[in-house]
Amino acid sequence: MTEATRIASPQPLPFSRLLAHILDEHARDRLTLSELSARLRDRAWGGLLLIFAAINLLPLPPGATTITGLPLLAITAQLALGRHRPWFPRKLDERGISAEYLRRIAEKIAPWEARVERVLKPRLCALTSHRAARVVGAVGFLLSVILWLPIPLGNHAPALALTLFALALIYRDGVLAILGAVATIASIALVSLTFAAAWWAVLQLWNHIS
C-alpha cells in the first residue's frame, strides 16, 4: 500500500506520521504556510488548526498570543467562509513555520496517538462535514479572538477547545467535535468570570477611592 493510498484510506494516517513524512520530503529549516497546507492535503484545515492551537497550550510570555493567535484568526475565518483551501497574506505565509517545531509536535503527539489510535476514528461524520466545518470555523474564530486578546490565563482554555476541533476535523470524529463544543462553553464561561472579577475589582477600587 502506497503512502498516498494510506492517506486517502477510511482510517486516516496518524497525523504525527503524516507530519514526519512531510519533514522527510523537505529538509529545509522552514516551510511556508501554503507549502504546509498543500502537503497536508485533505487534512489542511484540521492540521493547521492543530499546529497553531498547540503553540498556545504551551506556557507563553504575556502578550505572546497577540502574535500566535494571528494564524488562528486567518484559518478559522476562512474555514467559516467555506473556502476549500487555506490562503495566507504574503508576509504571514513567507514567515511560515520552522521544521524543528513541526518535528517536536510530531514527536509529542506520536505516543499519545499510539495510545488512543483505536479511539480516534470516523464517527458521527455529519458533525465534521463541510457544512459542519463552517460552524466549527465560526466557533473557532470566536475562540481565536478570545485567545488573541491579552487576557491573563485566557489562552489555554480556548486553545484546548481549538485542539479538540482540530482533531475532530483530522480524524472525522464527531465525538471530538462535541467535546470541542463543551470546551468552548467552558472557555466562554471562564473568560466571562475573568471579566466579571476584573470589573468587580475595579468597582471595589473606585469605591475605596471615593
Per residue in 11-65, pLDDT (tens digit) is 556 777 788 788 777 767 888 888 888 888 888 898 889 888 888 877 666 666 7
pLDDT of 8 higher than 50: no
- Tell me the C-alpha to C-alpha distance, in Å, between residue 122 and each of 103, 130, 166, 181: 26, 14, 14, 18
Residue of 135, 146, 138 lying closest to 69 (CA atoms): 146
Q: Considering the chain, what is the average pLDDT of its residues? A: 81
| 140 band by pLDDT with thresholds 50, 70 and 90 | very high
209 CB neighbour count, 10 Å cutoff:
6
Which residue bears the cell 458521527? 124
Q: For 30, phi and psi rounded to 5 degrees?
A: -135, 155
Q: For residue 4, what pLDDT band results from cuts at 50, 70 and 90?
A: very low
pLDDT given at position 61: 62
pLDDT tens string 55-111 = 887 766 666 677 778 888 989 999 999 888 888 888 888 887 888 888 887 877 777
Domain containing residue 95 = 3-209
Distance CA 47, CA 7 (A): 13
Q: What is the DSSP string of 9-36?
A: SSSPPPHHHHHHHHHHH--SSEE-HHHH
Higher per-residue confidence, 202 vs 154: 202
Rounded to an integer, what distance in angstroms lies between the CA atom of residue 177 and that of residue 96?
27
pLDDT digits (tens, 9 = 90+) for 190-204: 888 877 777 788 777
Domain count, the chain: 1
Expressed in angstroms, the distance from the first to the final Cα of the chain is 75
Rounded to an integer, what is the distance from CA 175 to the centroid of its chain?
17
